Homo-oligomer: A and B are copies of this chain.
Amino acid sequence: MKRSEVKKAQERTAELFARAGIVLTEEERGRIEVAGFGLGRLEEQGLELITYVNTDRYCAKELALFPGQTCPEHLHPPVNGEPGKMETFRCRWGTVYLYVVGERAGEIRAAVPAGSEAWYTVFREIVLGPGEQYTIPPGTKHWFQGGPEGAIVSEFSSTSRDEFDVFTDPSIVRIPVIEEDE
């Protein structure tokens, strides 16, 4: 991703956080992570986040999804003999459509990103509005999409080791590579 694109997405994310009443320091606004997953379609498949704290015991992040933006299907495998990352998503603002392993109940509300249908395989739907939350067990596939206004989601979890995440789409690169263009 180009530096200019990262900066634009950071500004848009800071605006979403502000609208949701989430205050970041200036230092934090400058290190908002923009994850395009190496797919080159940030608006469609991407995620913006700030990591508040990540120790060897717990982690907390604030996630932002633009309207209709999808965080692609993945799971958190065991690392160094510890069970995979366990995650609680608490919606703070907007709506998030979350999909986990389990029975599909008819039509889903999210639109699977066109051209990537093969990499979306779990469809048990959980819709979270402000104040609603869901905990994803370790080692199980999940993906999620922002609703019509987007979403702000607090993530409470065990230690994050993003570099070990397993994405269903084999072309995904989790750790962003930024190309300096300015």
Contact = CB atoms under 8 A, between A and B. Distances in A.
Interface of A: 20-25, 28, 52-53, 55, 57-60, 86, 88, 90, 92-93, 130-133, 135, 154, 156-158
B52 A156 contact: yes
Contacts of A58: 57-59, 86, 88, 156-158
Given A21-B21, A57-B158, A58-B86, 9 more contacts: A20-B21, A22-B92, A52-B156, A53-B88, A53-B133, A53-B135, A53-B156, A57-B57, A60-B154
Give the number of times this chain occurs in the complex, counting copies: 2
Nearest to A55: B86
A127 B155 CA distance: 25
A53 B136 CA distance: 12
Contacts of A22: 21, 92
A135 B28 contact: no
B60 A86 contact: no
Among A20, A52, A135, residue most surrounded by chain B Cβ atoms (within 10 Å): A52
A57 to B, nearest CB: 4
